[in-house]
């Protein structure tokens, strides 16, 4: 029974990429049998291949859990067994990293890939013979796959230089271990295609800048023809392990390269082949449709190109695959322009810029998180080493140096406080860069876009339509000014340079003014609004402008996160003696405890289907907290997911 299971697991390890497209059944059956038999080595192997299959079918959390269980078993084995399973061990870490990468957690994925690379390199250095290995997953093959995974992670952060170095290193491993061409041909093809994609980006950038790109085109051509094409050509031969997935990946890169080279008829034929695969591979089919649109446009057939571009756009999910959707909108913009449909061209270009802005902000956040994690890791290592060295030196000192030891301890505490302050400043800077790259760019794109239309004549001759364009430019500029104003207010509050102008404030007048100012947003949101005060409360000593700013921030948030038909309430009532409670409550989507903590942080924004409809810098609540505290009061937040939110601002009646 054990031997039959071992043979079946070996078959699944070797042909996994071919078999997994037909379903996960064989992988689950092997895993169930391994659990019943209780052999830990076979169980670890069965868990790893099942984890890869789960990831293929998009069940990311399940795949990560199985891979982590694999790692737990492997780390209980003896050192010799671990060495003989180094390829499997590295592959399990790579699968966890790949799952985290697919979930968008790049900062977590990077050290996982690095761990996989370290384990694979250890196995390669040990030079375990094929007969001595306990799994068909070899260390050199696992090293190629892990390096490719790390390269993809760098690409997602727009770290093209780092990605290229890692991917070229993977090809060096292939050259040093030719057997990988038989063991992991798919991973080699994916590595080559990722390198070619980076080169193709360079080609487009150089051509857009009016520069020569022949060197990059030649390098990409050589990689495809010398590295990937020979592996793809072997598909169908007995024992060849190149999957149809790798074949389609190569066809995609080859088609794009033909388009860049200007070989339009050949590109058209290959893109058509990709489009025809859409019935079984939606992703590749959409890529083929987009490629057909680009090629037909280059051939001067924009009407046909438009139909294919629309098919490509329809294949992508509304909230995912942002990069691909952005690319299709860019193609659609060029197609509409070729058809003389300038308004449609501008709309598509504007959507392309919006999606690219989201990608830029995501890449910035990922890079900031990665940098913070790496800096924190290196700092922790340095501190640990320093602490070990200090402990060793203190152990050698005699009792006469007690006072000196106490001084060193005090210094270490001061350094720890300084370190925490530096980390907090670094996180604030990272958050600022990531958020503002989007919040400032979005209105600027609108201002520049409409201004270019007016300048270049796409908006028609001067007339009534220009008033609409000017209004849109003014609206975008006003939003930009609002964001900058909030940043300046927050900086003054944090620096202790914000001065209040305290005077009597008529509470009923304050409620009426707030009601009037939020009325347009309430009406657009199709929600009900109620405002009331306790009759015993007539006025309060406060800064009227800043008090109104607090309430408008809270009311705007309440209206933003309340669905049509919901209710927003503003109330004033007595608090503890000498204080008044001003409450803003809504029946909106509510927040979890983690989301509440995020909302109170500077630049913190809670992602949701409602929030995505509105612009926001993430400064409203922090500014409200700061202004309330400057008045000698406080702000408390209560919220429950699905049950709404209530914010209570407690202020002293007089100063």
- 502-520 residue pLDDT tens: 899 898 988 888 888 888 8
User: Which residues does 249 contact at the CB level (< 8 Å), separation at least 6?
Assistant: 189, 190, 193
Least Cα distance to 181 among 135, 215, 231 occurs for 231
| Class in CATH terms, 262-340 | mainly alpha
Residue 195 has what pLDDT?
Answer: 94
At residue 327, does pLDDT exceed 50? Answer: yes
Beta-bridge partner residues of 574: 580
Residue 609 has what pLDDT?
Answer: 39
Rounded to whole angstroms, how far apart are CA atoms 548 and 509? 11
**262-340 matches 1-171 in CATH topology:** yes
Average pLDDT over residues 477-501: 65
Higher pLDDT, 431 or 413: 413
Q: Dump pLDDT digits (tens) for 66-118.
A: 999 999 999 888 888 888 889 999 999 999 999 988 887 887 888 899 999 99
Fold topology of 440-498: Helix Hairpins (1.10.287)
CATH number of 503-652: 3.30.565.10
Q: Dump pLDDT digits (tens) for 363-410.
A: 556 555 555 555 554 564 566 566 667 666 666 666 666 666 677 777
Residue 618 has what pLDDT?
Answer: 60
Least Cα distance to 652 among 630, 637, 636, 626 occurs for 630
At residue 294, does pLDDT exceed 70? Answer: yes
Domain ranges of the chain: 1-171, 262-340, 354-396+405-435, 440-498, 503-652
Least Cα distance to 16 among 27, 5, 7, 6 occurs for 27
Q: Dump pLDDT digits (tens) for 196-244.
A: 999 988 988 888 888 898 898 899 999 999 999 998 888 878 777 888 8
Give the angle subtended at the CA of 43 by the CAs of 38 and 47, to the nearest 5°.
145
Structure tokens at 244: 């149809």
Q: Which CB contacts under 8 angstroms, 24+ apart, belong to 471-475? A: 472/446, 473/446, 473/447
Structure tokens at 320: 């995912």
Helix, strand or coil for residue 280? coil
- Cβ-count burial of 106 within 10 angstroms (0-12 exposed, 13-18 middle, 19+ buried)? buried
Residue 463 has what pLDDT?
Answer: 64
Return the residue matching tokens 């980390």: 423
Residue 649 has what pLDDT?
Answer: 92
Average pLDDT over residues 598-611: 56
1-171: CATH, from 1.25.40.10, 3.40.250.10, 3.40.640.10, 1.50.10.10? 1.25.40.10
Structure tokens at 537: 């409360």
Rounded to whole angstroms, how far apart are CA atoms 516 and 529? 11
């Amino acid at each position: 029974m054990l031997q039959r299971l071992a043979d079946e697991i070996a078959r699944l390890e070797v042909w996994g990429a071919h078999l997994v497209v037909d379903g996960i059944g064989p992988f689950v059956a092997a895993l169930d049998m391994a659990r019943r038999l209780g052999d830990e080595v076979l169980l670890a192997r069965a868990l790893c291949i099942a984890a890869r299959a789960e990831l293929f079918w998009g069940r990311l959390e399940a795949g990560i859990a199985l891979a982590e269980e694999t790692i737990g078993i492997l780390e209980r084995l003896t050192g010799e067994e671990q060495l003989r399973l180094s390829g499997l061990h590295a592959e399990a870490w790579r699968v966890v990293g790949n799952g985290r990468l697919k979930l968008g957690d790049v900062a977590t994925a990077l050290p996982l890939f690095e761990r996989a690379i370290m384990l694979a390199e250890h196995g390669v250095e040990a030079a375990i013979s094929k007969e001595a290995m306990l799994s068909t997953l070899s260390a050199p093959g696992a090293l190629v796959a892990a390096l490719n995974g790390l390269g993809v992670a760098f690409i997602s952060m727009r770290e093209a230089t780092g990605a290229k170095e890692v991917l070229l290193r993977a090809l060096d491993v292939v050259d040093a271990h030719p057997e990988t061409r038989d063991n992991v041909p798919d991973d080699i093809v994916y590595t080559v295609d990722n390198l070619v994609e980076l080169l193709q980006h360079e080609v487009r950038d150089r051509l857009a800048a009016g520069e020569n790109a022949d060197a990059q085109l030649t390098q990409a051509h050589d990689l495809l023809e010398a590295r990937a094409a020979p592996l793809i050509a072997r598909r169908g031969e007995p024992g060849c392990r190149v999957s149809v997935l790798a074949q389609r990946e190569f066809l995609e890169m080859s088609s794009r390269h033909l388009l860049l080279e200007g070989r339009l008829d050949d590109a058209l034929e290959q893109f058509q082949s990709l489009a025809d695969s859409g019935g079984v591979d939606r992703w590749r089919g959409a890529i083929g449709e987009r490629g057909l649109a680009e090629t037909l446009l280059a051939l001067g057939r924009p009407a046909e190109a438009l139909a294919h571009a629309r098919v490509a756009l329809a294949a992508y999910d509304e909230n995912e695959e942002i990069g691909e959707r952005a690319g299709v909108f860019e193609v659609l913009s060029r197609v509409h322009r070729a058809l003389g449909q300038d308004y449609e061209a501008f709309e598509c270009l504007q959507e392309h810029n919006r999606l690219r802005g989201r990608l830029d902000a995501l890449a910035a956040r990922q890079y900031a998180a990665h940098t913070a994690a790496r800096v924190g890791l290196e700092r922790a290592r340095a501190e640990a080493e320093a602490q070990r060295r200090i402990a060793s030196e203190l152990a050698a000192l005699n009792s006469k140096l007690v006072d000196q030891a106490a001084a060193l301890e005090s210094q270490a505490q001061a350094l720890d406080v300084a370190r925490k302050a530096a980390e907090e400043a670094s996180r604030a800077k990272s958050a600022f860069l990531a958020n503002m790259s989007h919040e400032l760019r979005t209105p600027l794109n609108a201002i520049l876009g409409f201004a270019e239309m007016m300048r270049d004549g796409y908006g028609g001759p001067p007339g009534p339509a220009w008033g609409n364009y000017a209004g849109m430019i003014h609206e975008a500029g006003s939003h930009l000014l609002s964001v900058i104003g909030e940043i300046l207010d927050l900086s003054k509050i944090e620096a202790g340079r914000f001065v209040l102008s305290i005077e009597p404030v008529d509470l009923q007048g304050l409620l009426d003014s707030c009601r009037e100012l939020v009325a347009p947003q309430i009406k657009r949101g199709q929600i009900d609004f109620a405002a009331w005060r306790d009759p015993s409360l007539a006025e309060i000593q406060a800064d009227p402008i800043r008090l109104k700013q607090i309430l408008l921030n809270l009311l705007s948030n309440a209206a933003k996160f309340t669905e049509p038909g919901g209710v927003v309430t503003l109330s004033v009532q007595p608090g503890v003696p000498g204080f008044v409670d001003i409450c803003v409550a809504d029946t909106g989507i509510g927040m979890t405890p983690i989301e509440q903590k995020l909302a109170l942080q500077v630049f913190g924004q809670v992602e949701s289907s409602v929030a995505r409809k509105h612009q926001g810098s993430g400064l409203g609540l922090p500014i409200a907290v700061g202004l309330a505290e400057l008045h000698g009061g406080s702000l408390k937040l209560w919220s429950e997911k699905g049950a709404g939110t209530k914010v209570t601002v407690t202020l002293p009646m007089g100063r």
